[in-house]
C-alpha cells in the first residue's frame, strides 16, 4: 500500500523528538550531582534518591520510543506494542516523580506541564502507529 508523503515527515519528527528524549536521559543519568546541587539542591537530591526501577522505566521510555519510531519508519507492526510498552514506562517513571516525591509541592503545578506533554506525545505516537497498522500500512 502506498503511504502519504506525510508519513516520512511525521516519522522524522517523531524520531527527532525521541532522540531529544534519549539525549536528556543520557545527560541526567551521567550528570554531576555535586555541580547540580550548586544551582538546584532539591533536584540533585531527587535524582540521587531516584530508585533504579524509576531510572530503568525512564530508559525503557526513551529508548523504546526511539526504536519504535525506527520500526515505524521501516513499516514494521512491532512499533505498536513497543510504543505501548514505552508509554507504560512513561507513566511509571512520572508516577514515581509525582507520587513518590514532593516535586509538585516544591516546584509547583507547572512542574507537571512538560511531563504531561511527553505523555501526550507518547499517546499520539501510539495512536498514529495503531492507525497505520489498522490501515495495513505497517505490517
pLDDT tens for 81-90 read 999 999 999 9
Query: CA 10, 13, 16 angle in degrees (round to 5)?
Result: 150
Give the per-residue SS3 of 9-29. HHHHHHHHHHHHHHHHHHHHH
As a whole number, mean pLDDT of residues 22-45 equals 93
Question: Which of these, 131, 57, 109, 112, lies nearest to 87 by C-alpha position?
Answer: 57
Q: Is the pTM of this model over 0.85?
A: yes
Q: Which residue has the higher pLDDT, 1 or 80?
A: 80
User: pLDDT by residue (tens digit) across 90-125?
Assistant: 999 999 999 999 999 999 999 999 999 999 999 999
Distance between CA atoms of 47 and 45, rounded to whole angstroms? 6
- Residue 50, C-alpha cell as written in the block: 531516584
Amino acid at each position: 500500500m502506498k503511504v502519504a508523503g506525510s508519513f516520512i515527515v511525521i516519522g522524522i519528527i517523531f524520531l527527532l523528538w525521541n532522540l531529544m528524549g534519549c539525549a536528556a536521559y543520557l545527560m541526567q543519568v551521567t550528570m554531576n550531582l555535586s555541580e547540580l546541587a550548586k544551582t538546584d539542591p532539591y533536584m540533585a537530591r531527587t535524582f540521587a534518591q531516584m530508585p533504579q526501577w524509576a531510572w530503568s522505566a525512564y530508559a525503557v521510555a526513551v529508548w523504546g520510543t526511539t526504536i519504535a519510531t525506527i520500526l515505524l519508519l521501516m513499516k514494521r507492526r512491532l512499533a505498536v506494542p513497543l510504543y505501548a510498552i514505552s508509554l507504560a514506562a512513561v507513566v511509571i517513571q512520572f508516577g514515581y516523580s509525582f507520587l513518590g516525591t514532593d516535586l509538585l509541592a516544591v516546584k509547583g503545578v507547572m512542574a507537571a506541564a512538560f511531563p504531561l506533554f511527553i505523555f501526550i506525545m507518547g499517546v499520539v505516537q501510539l495512536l498514529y502507529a495503531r492507525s497505520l497498522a489498522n490501515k495495513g500500512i505497517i505490517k
